[in-house]
Structure formats: structure tokens, C-alpha cells
Amino acid sequence: MKNLEFIYKRHSIRKFTEEEVKEEDLKAIMEAAIQAPSGKHRQNWHFVIVKNKEKIEGIAKLIEEKNKKIADKLPDKEWADGFKKFVKYATIFRTAPVLVIVYAGDYIPTGLKEFKAIGASQEEIDALNKANPGLQGVSAAIENLMISAGELGYGTCWMTSPNYAAKEISEYVNFNKEGYYLAALTPLGVPATEGKSPERKPLEEVITVIE
């Protein structure tokens, strides 16, 4: 069997050293990201790469502010406290030298127009949209980015919990491209902690083999 070690080198990393990401490594990682497949070869991704430490901290602060704003409006204290407690998982990128913000562009699933034309049920339309092929291609690019980063000795962490502050983040980095929305973000840097991923469900639980 070929060596698949590169897969096992990727872990979610939530603390980073001060070390910079080498420019040639960043370029190689981003080139690997865009080798991902995408529906109809739309390549409907855009990456905003923040290399400025103060701006990265600024984004973490925005998320904290938005978290507080939401928590203050919640109807009970226990709920609000729980929501506030988890803000740390939305800001774990703050020690990284680089933050990659991933945007996805709108995508019309194959068959959607036809479903509408033939008067398909809302249930069928919703099911088609649910698979979100537009986001699937962008996710493939994110995974390529992370696996390549791991192979080059860098750490990343796929993050969607900051998405409740997507509007504020996009305004802050001044990114506004028609039809594009913030999908996820990831820190990129040299890990300050050893990567250790949680155990996976057993393979038998998640596969069905038909012979």
C-alpha cells in the first residue's frame, strides 16, 4: 500500500508560535488549495489572506464583540453564559501569523432550474440545495490547503464558529464580491502544541458495503 502518512499529519491546531509562514510555503499551500475539484469547474472560491498580526487580533475582537451582543439578547442567563464560554473556540486563530478567510461563490446545482420548470415539490428542491455542490468544491479546497500545510509542517484549524460575525469580518477586511459569502476560516502557522486528533468512529459504523 502507498504511504498515506500525509493524511495523518493534519490535526486541528489552536496555538501557534511566533514563527512566520515562509512566503514560498504559503504560495505552495494556496496553489495546492486551488487544485481541488469544483462543480462545473467553477472554482468558486476566494481566499483573503491576512498576514497582519494587529488585523488578526482585530478580527478576534470583532467576534468577541458580536458574541457579547448576541449573548446579551438571549432570554436566559445560562444560555448566554454557555454561548459566551464557547467564544474561545471562535477566536483560537488569534496567535497565528496568518489567517485565511475562505469565501464561497453562489452556485446553481444541476437540475435546479429544471426542477423549477417542471414544478417539482419544494421538498425535492430543498433536498437538491441541501447537498450544496457549490460549498462542496470550496470545502475540497480547504482540505487541500490543510493537508498541504500539515505536510509542510504548519498547523491549521477549520473554523466555522466565527461565521456569526461574517458580516463584520468581511467589512473589516473590506472584501465584497458579488455572490460570495464567508464559508470558513483557518489560522496558518507553526504549531505551538503537538497535534492530537480525537478518535474517529469505527469504519464499520460509517461505511456500507454493497457487494
CB contact at 8 A, 141 and 42: no
Q: How many residues bind ligand FMN (CB under 6 A)?
A: 13
What is the spatial distance between Cα 186 and Cα 202, in angstroms, rounded to a whole number? 27
Q: Judged by CB under 6 A, does residue 161 bind ligand FMN?
A: yes
Pick 22 or 86: Cβ nearer ligand FMN = 86
Q: Judged by CB under 6 A, does residue 86 bind ligand FMN?
A: no
Q: Judged by CB under 6 A, does residue 129 bind ligand FMN?
A: no
CB contact at 8 A, 52 and 59: no
Pick 164 or 172: Cβ nearer ligand FMN = 164
Q: Torsions phi, psi of 114, nearest 5?
A: -65, -40
Q: Which of 72, 121, 126, 198 binds ligand FMN (CB under 6 A)?
A: 198
171, three cell numbers: 467589512
CB contact at 8 A, 17 and 191: yes
Q: Amino acid letter at 201?
A: K
Q: Judged by CB under 6 A, does residue 90 bind ligand FMN?
A: yes
Q: Which of 29, 157, 169, 188 binds ligand FMN (CB under 6 A)?
A: 157
What is the spatial distance between Cα 144 and Cα 130, in angstroms, rounded to a whole number? 23
User: Which stretches of 117-174 are assigned E, i.e. beta strand?
Assistant: 155-156
Pick 13 or 32: Cβ nearer ligand FMN = 13
Q: Which of 104, 159, 169, 188 binds ligand FMN (CB under 6 A)?
A: 159
Q: Amino acid letter at 148?
A: S
Q: Judged by CB under 6 A, does residue 193 bind ligand FMN?
A: no
Q: Judged by CB under 6 A, does residue 197 bind ligand FMN?
A: yes
Q: Amino acid letter at 203?
A: L
- Which part of the chain contacts ligand FMN (CB under 6 A), choosing from 51-59, 73-81, 153-161, 164-172? 153-161
Starting at the edge strand that comes first in sequence, how are the strands of the sheet with 155-156 ordered?
45-50, 98-105, 180-189, 155-156
Q: Judged by CB under 6 A, does residue 96 bind ligand FMN?
A: no
Q: Judged by CB under 6 A, does residue 158 bind ligand FMN?
A: yes
Q: Judged by CB under 6 A, does residue 4 bind ligand FMN?
A: no
175, three cell numbers: 472584501
User: Which stretches of the chain bind ligand FMN, using CB under 6 A?
Assistant: 11-12, 14, 89-90, 92, 157-161, 197-198
